[in-house]
Amino acid sequence: MKTYLVGGAVRDRLLGLPAGDRDWVVVGATPQRMLDLGYKPVGRDFPVFLHPDTGEEHALARTERKSGRGHRGFVVDADPSVTLEDDLLRRDFTINAIAQDQDGRLVDPHGGARDIERRVLRHVGPAFVEDPLRVLRAARFMARLAPLGFSVADETMALMRQMADSGELDALVPERVWQELRRALASARPSAFLDTLRRCGALRAVLPEVDALYGVPQRAEYHPEVDTGIHQQMVSDMAARLAPGDAVIGFAALAHDLGKALTPEEELPRHVMHEQRGVKPVRALCERLKVPAEHRELAVMACREHLNVHRVFELRDATVHELLSRCDAFRKPERIAQLATVCEADKRGRGGSEEADYPQGAELQRLHHAALAVGARDIACEGLSGAAVGQALARARTAAIAVARKRQV
């Protein structure tokens, strides 16, 4: 029985990145042997155990054989005779197929360390095509590694195109698609995720609402990049810059302009009413991928309200209050800072505006704080009940917004 450190921990050490979770592969052991040593079983699809002291995952070395469609269609063999090299061969990319023994020596049969030096994301072997989830994983790794200079190997991109063309991606379960998308949106360069999927033809299968944005023109005086899909990539990257690691804001940024794909051709390059048109595809996307409520609610809000936030200095006091009420900002006040960040990413995610100021975000939050300071205890409620109390509170909060604006002047 031998134990090796594998995967991301080895890869990230070679990249000089901070250490994350450590995963281990165990060669020459049986499930019973692991139980006898005090390990706790946690794997459902294959034998994985938690170390009795460290709690780190230890998986038995295994091979996988394709038995059906999708990423679940595999037969797993975790017999003690499976070697470390057998286990590394089943992995997706060479940079993830490196092991380290207890003396610190690397076992690297597929040249992963060399590919790290060359900054190349390359598949391990022909079995790569058997798991459609690997297309999404490649794109997600690019969202993390593109800032370090990585690119996808030509031969790997060719296989990904083959997988996209085969229709295998249709077999992916929504939860796994969402998991990869969420992790990509929390990475440093989400645009690399979108670009990689689009280059191999997979974006239209995974995110058709986003894929439809490419090639849709916008007015050049507001969007020097013109192409709505390119604008979307820039917005996603700006959201990652403004709110690093925040997939809630990242998803809202991704979905904010979906309505532009529905603009009638005769109206282009103008996009009147795209905010209202976009709500339906945002909700459809969230329903299909089973997006969590927190992400969904901010995405719908950002789609519907982003132009109102851009115009906040022009809005009437009552209109500002109505915007805040639609966002449920008095029960969930944290939403307004999130919305302001998404709108700032939209405004700065365009050619020549990357370093622009966005005073609208601060103004929206300032007016929100002024209105939020007014509660039911601050108004004369005697003799009022039901809806009348709410109306009085709305008037008082609108008045607080007006006062805050005058103080600003």
Ordered DSSP codes for 282-298: HHHHHHHHT--HHHHHH
Q: The domain containing residue 37 runs over which residues?
A: 1-113
- Quickly state the pLDDT bin for 385 (edges 50, 70, 90): low
What pLDDT digit, counting tens, does each position of 286-318 carry?
A: 999 999 999 999 999 999 999 999 999 999 999
pLDDT for residue 384 is more than 70: no
Structural domain contains residue 369:
no
pLDDT for residue 348 is more than 70: yes
Structural domain contains residue 79:
yes
Structural domain contains residue 73:
yes
Least confident stretch, 153-162, 215-224, 375-384: 375-384
- For residue 389, the model assigns a pLDDT of 77
Structural domain contains residue 7:
yes
What pLDDT digit, counting tens, does each position of 240-254 carry?
A: 999 999 999 999 999
Distance set, CA 271 to CA 94, 233, 276, 303, 342 (Å): 45, 18, 11, 13, 19
Q: Do 129 and 92 form a contact (C-beta atoms < 8 A)?
A: no
Segment 156-168 mean pLDDT: 95
Number of folded domains in the chain? 1
Could you give the count of Cα atoms lying within 13 Å of 54 in the half-sphere of its Cβ?
9
pLDDT for residue 45 is more than 60: yes
Question: Where would I find the beta strands (DSSP E) of 208-312?
Answer: none
Q: What's the full length of the chain, in residues?
A: 409
Least confident stretch, 335-339, 340-344, 380-384: 380-384
Q: Which residue has the higher pLDDT, 191 or 391?
A: 191
Q: What percent of the chain has pLDDT over 70?
A: 95
Q: Do 259 and 216 form a contact (C-beta atoms < 8 A)?
A: no
Structural domain contains residue 406:
no
Structural domain contains residue 19:
yes
What pLDDT digit, counting tens, does each position of 49-102 carry?
A: 999 999 999 999 998 775 555 445 457 788 899 999 999 999 999 999 999 999
- For residue 231, the model assigns a pLDDT of 97
- For residue 387, the model assigns a pLDDT of 74
pLDDT for residue 127 is more than 60: yes
Question: Where would I find the beta strands (DSSP E) of 176-247?
Answer: none
pLDDT for residue 167 is more than 60: yes
CATH of the domain at 3: 3.30.460.10
Q: Do 265 and 271 form a contact (C-beta atoms < 8 A)?
A: no
- Quickly state the pLDDT bin for 20 (edges 50, 70, 90): confident
Segment 213-226 mean pLDDT: 96
The number of angstroms, rounded, from the C-alpha of 64 to the middle of its chain's C-alpha atoms is: 28
Separation of alpha carbons 180 and 159, rounded Å: 19
- For residue 113, the model assigns a pLDDT of 97
Structural domain contains residue 278:
no
